[in-house]
Amino acid sequence: MGLYTINITYTKGEEVKFISHLDLIRVFERAIRRANLPIAYSQGFNPRMKISYGQALKVGATSAGEEAKLTFEEEMSHKEVVDRLNAVLPKGIKLLYNV
Amino acid sequence: MSIESILPLVRKPGRYIGNELNSIHKNWDDVSLHIALAYPDLYEVGMSNLGIQILYDILNKQKEVVAERVFCPAPDMGEKMYGQVLNLPLFSLESWTPISKFDMLGFSIGHELAYTNIIEMLHLSGIPIYSKDRNDSHPIVFAGGPCCFNPEPIAEFIDFFLIGEGEEAILEVQSVKLKAQNLGRIDILKKFSEIEGIYVPALRNKVKKRHVADFSNASVPTHPIVPFIQTIQDRGVVEIMRGCKRACKFCNARVIYGPVRERDPQRVIDLAQEIIKNTGQENLALVSLSSSDYCDIERVSKELAQKLAEQKVSLNLPSLRTDSFGVKLAKEISRVRPSSLTLAPETGNEKLRFSIGKRITDQEVFDGVKAAFEGGISAIKLYFMIGLPGETDEDLLSIAELVKKAYQIGRSFTHRARITAALSTFVPKPHTAFEREEQISIGETLRRQKIIKDNLHQKGIEIRWHQAETSFLEGVFARGDRELAQVIVKSWELGAKLDAWSEYFKFDIWERAFAECGIDPSRYLRMRDKNEELPWDFIQLT
């Protein structure tokens, strides 16, 4: 089974600037489940979604361009990932169309 | 100073920011009734409460109403607000509106040790603490939840109580209020008192407990709020049943959540999937007081576990009976192997267990323990109560024996076997068969705890116990009366708050408050004569 990675860039706005990096990881995992995307999971007893994040942003700071890498089990277009996640993410977090 | 400028200075600012997924934001001026829903504890406890989510959903579905949430600020936040209480009053999460601007403020009260938090929140809101000191410019303060089945200790702070289930009653409340926006305070309270389930302390009216007849189809929040920060119960929840078919004499939950009503199995399955779709939660719990007694528990949980596994969502059944059926089912539906399991034998022997109405034999307890270890679980938690009516020192020794035997069973399966014995102190609760029984004193609690501890020094066995002082206070307030209002206020003045948190609980404050008010708290623990009137007698249960 092939794996496909998509690099994303997202903004962290005023509404969520006090959310810690750990909380943000949960936000993405839950958004991916709501969007029903074919995300890949790690092996083992407690499978985790295959997502890698850039360096953690300080609590309280906003950002116009944070990065993450998502791994899927099916081939996905960048645009489709952005569309489907933006439709379900809470206010303040938005994926950008240009990487 | 603004809210914005304080947030970087406090721990877990995520508690105060709102904007979570599925939170509802309405334009303040577009609606005519503004209700603040409060849970008098920290955000992470309050957001684990299903009642708040249910009422939030029902009220916000009304066009003319907005419901926003508010929780008790942690001490670091509270201190910063005190310093400038006029500039920074307690605010709602959704619109950061001062609570005093709302038309109504409703508290959901889950336990007795939250009483000082109610005072703290009223104070931080700039709302007079005593009901009698409020005028038409203040919100109407109401309360519901399990603690309100004896509302008397807090009756002077609350304008009206909703005794029982709120799904239907809250709609009647909002409709009465909408139709009577300009009515004076006491007149509107009189109107509220005509609603079934509403008790107005100022009127001392008799009240009948409210329950929803059609529970299966009752309103369920299918888009619950998904917190950003980790909460105590961070999961999707579907209630499968209300009430309890068991008749344990110590338990008031059967009374509070009765009568027994089950939710249609297909609706349970549909709701669970819809909630996962709308929240993305990684855990879903099917909740009730005793899930083994639900009509179709095996089929529903297996079918659902299978469906949820496709999305790597795990299913939990937190209240299964502790026999081998329950243990096996819990193991079967679990996606990842659970590392520990909790059983509640309550007593060390079946004679005392049967006398308190919990009809589980010792053999059934050991069968449950065996099934758990057999299934690969290596750690088991056993819950016990001490101070039960009729309990002897031999009964306490039998707890130690039961724990040792459970450990031996575990050792026959794995050398890593561990048993945790958790001891709580029995607190007689209103509306139960034991409502007139004596509660043991702090000294006696310590003595009985020691008997068990002295007989359980063994590798692989750990003992935990409830702080005797906490159970003492819980007992005083559980069966308390209106006299206690002054003690609550006095303790809060002396600095008591978040008493349920061991890191904040200071018993010496309470001792001082009782002394300064001239009240001997131990009299609330005494046995009540069968002819003595009880403070909660005015509540009719059926």
* B103-129: average pLDDT: 97
Size of interface A-B (CB pairs under 8 A): 64
Give the Å distances, CA to CA, from B247 to B244, B290, B431, B473, B528: 8, 11, 13, 26, 22
Residue B336: predicted pLDDT: 63
Q: Which of A34, A57, A93, A94 to mutate to test the interface with B (most CBs of B within 10 A)?
A: A34
**B182 falls in which pLDDT band (50, 70, 90)?**
confident
Residue A1: predicted pLDDT: 64
pTM value is 0.95
Q: Kindly state the tokens that stand for B274.
A: 């819809």
pLDDT at B86 over 60: no
From CA B467, how far away is CA B50, in angstroms rounded?
A: 27
pLDDT at B181 over 90: no
Tokens 């508290």 — which residue?
A: B107
Residue B330: predicted pLDDT: 82
pLDDT at B79 over 60: yes
Give the Å distances, CA to CA, from B187 to B35, B84, B138, B432: 19, 35, 15, 35
From CA B445, how far away is CA B425, in angstroms rounded?
A: 7
Residue B475: predicted pLDDT: 98
Pick from B264, B314, B251, B263: which is nearest to B285 by CA?
A: B314
The C-alpha of A71 sits at a distance from chain B's nearest C-alpha, in angstroms, of 16
Q: Identify any residues that bridge with A69 across adjacent strands, giving them in sequence order.
A: A7, A52
Residue B340: predicted pLDDT: 77
CB contact under 8 A, B279 and A30: yes
Single-letter amino acid, residue B171: L
pLDDT at A56 over 60: yes
Residue B299: predicted pLDDT: 95
Q: Considering only residues B31 and B333, tell me which one the structure prediction assigns the higher pLDDT.
A: B31
Q: Identify any residues that bridge with A49 across adjacent strands, giving them in sequence order.
A: A41
* A57-76: average pLDDT: 95
* B101-121: average pLDDT: 97
From CA B484, how far away is CA B497, in angstroms rounded?
A: 16
Q: Identify any residues that bridge with B315 across adjacent strands, giving them in sequence order.
A: B284
Q: Return the domain boundaries, chain A.
A: 4-92
Q: Identify any residues that bridge with B540 across adjacent strands, giving them in sequence order.
A: B208
Burial class of residue B353, CB neighbours in 10 A (0-12, 13-18, 19+):
buried
* CB contacts, 8 Å: A90 with chain B: 19-21, 226, 228
pLDDT at B479 over 80: yes
Question: Is the CB of residue B533 less than 8 Å from the CB of residue B152?
Answer: no
**B22 falls in which pLDDT band (50, 70, 90)?**
very high
* CB contacts, 8 Å: A19 with chain B: 14, 17, 228-229
Mean of the per-residue pLDDT values of chain B: 94
* CB contacts, 8 Å: A60 with chain B: 7-8, 13
pLDDT at B85 over 60: no
Residue A84: predicted pLDDT: 98
Burial class of residue A18, CB neighbours in 10 A (0-12, 13-18, 19+):
buried
CB contact under 8 A, A88 and B280: yes
CB contact under 8 A, B19 and A20: no
Residue B327: predicted pLDDT: 79
pLDDT tens for residues B28-59? 999 999 999 999 999 999 999 999 999 999 99
B17 touches chain A (CB under 8 A): yes
CA A75 from chain centre, in angstroms, equals: 16
CB contact under 8 A, B282 and A30: yes
CA B323 from chain centre, in angstroms, equals: 25
Q: Which residues, 6+ apart, have CB-to-CB distance to A82 below 8 Å?
A: A8, A95, A96, A97
CB contact under 8 A, A30 and B277: no
* B177-186: average pLDDT: 91
Total residues belonging to chain B:
542
* B455-479: average pLDDT: 96
From CA B330, how far away is CA A87, in angstroms rounded?
A: 36
Ordered alpha helix ranges (H), B107-154: 115-125
Residue B381: predicted pLDDT: 94
* CB contacts, 8 Å: B310 with chain A: none
Residue B118: predicted pLDDT: 98
Whether omega before B153 lies within 30 degrees of 0, making that bond cis, reads no
CB contact under 8 A, B229 and A20: yes
CB contact under 8 A, B280 and A41: no
Strands B160-162 and B198-199, bridge-based pairing: antiparallel
pLDDT at A98 over 70: yes
Give the Å distances, CA to CA, from B517 to B84, B483, B513: 30, 9, 6
pLDDT at B247 over 80: yes
Topology, domain A4-92: Alpha-Beta Plaits (3.30.70)
Helix H or strand E encompassing B409: helix B393-411
Predicted ipTM of the assembly: 0.94
The C-alpha of B20 sits at a distance from chain A's nearest C-alpha, in angstroms, of 7
Q: Which residues, 6+ apart, have CB-to-CB distance to B4 below 8 Å?
A: none
